Amino acid sequence: MKKITIAFYALLHGWITVDATAQANDADSISKMSYIQNAYIKVGIDLSLGGAITYIADTKKQINLINNFDWGRQVQMSFYSGPVPYEPGNKKAHASWTFIGWNPIQSGDVAGNRSKVLEYKNTGKTLYVKCIPMHWPLDSVPGECVFESWIQLKANAVEVKSRIVNNRSDTTQYKARGQELPAVYTNAPWHRLVSYKGDKPFTHDTLSVIANHNFPGAPSIQWAHWQATENWAANVDENDYGLGIWNAAVQNFSGGYYGDSSFKGSSKDAGTGYISPVNTEVLDHNITYTYNYTLIVGSLKEIRSYVYKNNPLQLPAWHFNNDRRHWTYENTTDAGWPIEDGLFVKLNKQATMIGPYTFWKAADAPVLVFEAAYHADVKKAKVYWRSFNGKFEEKNSIEFMVSGDGKMHTWHISLHQSPNYKGVLTGLKIVPDSDHTAKDGDMLHVKYIALQK
């Protein structure tokens, strides 16, 4: 009998199916669970699957919300980079997954090989796990990296810190890729995907039900993509009860439902709801990359209330002291990891810096602050802003003068001088050399970018 196997990247960018291999849904026979719980919720990780979260339930109801149909489900870590395809040595990627490239995941690979736990601790109140992940598209290829997770409970929420420590032999700085931070799979009854994607966040404005049901037999299944301006989404049942995912650093979300229209099924059944906060990130060969997220069990009102209580409102600002703060590049690279005292970006006539999805009102932030040093004979730069539900356009940009003297300067750019700088805005793009005068070897040292009143 054929079964559908889902990998993270397919959920982000489309859908393809493959025959089941050695997985055979054998987790029950050799799983090694470890749990913590409080008065509200119980969470469990499977130490036979790299410590992925395979169980979350209300303590009183004891009904697992997490789907475990195959090893591409659960709540687990997964990362993406080049090359594409990734085929080290004489290993060949599964024919259906050559497009994914480098892709270590926490549970195991498509061929049925499990990730290996290196360290583990359960204090009764917290969980810690460290594992060597497996490359999903390959047969028995461990990642040249380790994954770590720290898990604790706070009332009806599961607070998680996740980290990848890379040690790749390939030192190429590959182009930034979308990263699931994390991917979350719920069982079929929790199929209603709800989020806030409007322009009045944190005002109790009307929520959106994102109808994205993908039923078996469809020739092409695509997931919904939206800007979650309150940084959260939830999969809930018909009574608006279920599981929310909140990542305060992410507004770009993907999600949907796969399964039949009965919306019935438990942890080992194929029907599943999917949500993922997605940031585009550069993953260097030696990077240590950490992210935090919270899983919230309860009603939609309880999930949203938790986010409102814990999410501070502030204007976007990025200090590049020791990481990229989710900024990426087009047509250039930087000096690589570790990031120390700012970004050192290689200049050329097409070099571009792109910020993450965020949210602000033009009236609240008329000025852009740009602290940087040009080690190049550059005189002009340009900044673009993205309108709500829009894209970067030439009309939404302004040039500003810079000094190519190698010294650190703080420029204050009056964005409000443009008649098109108005309304709700969701991102920045900076072209450091709009005159295209930079030469090979020229560099820009960026310490700080911020929007201010």
For residue 26, name the pLDDT band (cuts at 50, 70, 90).
Answer: very low
Q: Judge: domain 8-310, CATH 3.40.640.
A: no
pLDDT at position 6, please? 40
pLDDT at position 99, please? 93
CA angle 168, 332, 278 (to 5 degrees): 65
CA angle 362, 204, 198 (to 5 degrees): 45
Domain residue spans in the chain?
8-310, 317-452
pLDDT at position 395, please? 97
**Superfamily grouping for domain 317-452:** Galactose-binding domain-like (2.60.120.260)
* Identity of the residue numbered 169: S
* Closest-CA residue to 45 (of 75, 19, 16, 70): 75
| Average pLDDT of every residue of the chain | 92
Q: How distant is the alpha carbon of residue 120 from its chain centre?
A: 25
Q: In which residue are the tokens 């990025």 written?
A: 318
Is 171 exposed, middle or buried (CB count within 10 Å of its CB: 0-12, 13-18, 19+)? exposed
pLDDT value at 396 more than 50: yes
For residue 214, name the pLDDT band (cuts at 50, 70, 90).
Answer: confident
Query: In whole angstroms, what is the distance from residue 277 CA to residue 111 CA?
Result: 27
The DSSP bridge partners found for residue 253 are: 226, 277
pLDDT value at 400 more than 90: yes
Give the tens place of pLDDT for each residue, 266-277.
Answer: 999 999 999 999
pLDDT value at 415 more than 60: yes
Q: Give me the half-sphere count of Cα atoms (radius 13 Å) on the Cβ side of residue 442.
A: 21
pLDDT at position 30, please? 62
Q: Is 103 helix (H, G, I), strand (E, B) or coil?
A: coil
Give the tens place of pLDDT for each residue, 151-185.
Answer: 999 999 999 999 999 999 999 999 999 999 999 99
Give the tens place of pLDDT for each residue, 47-69.
Answer: 999 999 999 999 999 999 999 99
Give the tens place of pLDDT for each residue, 69-102.
Answer: 999 899 999 999 999 999 999 999 999 899 999 9
DSSP state of 131: E
Burial 389-409, CB ≥16 within 10 A → b, else e: eeeeeeebbbebebebeeeee
pLDDT at position 218, please? 66
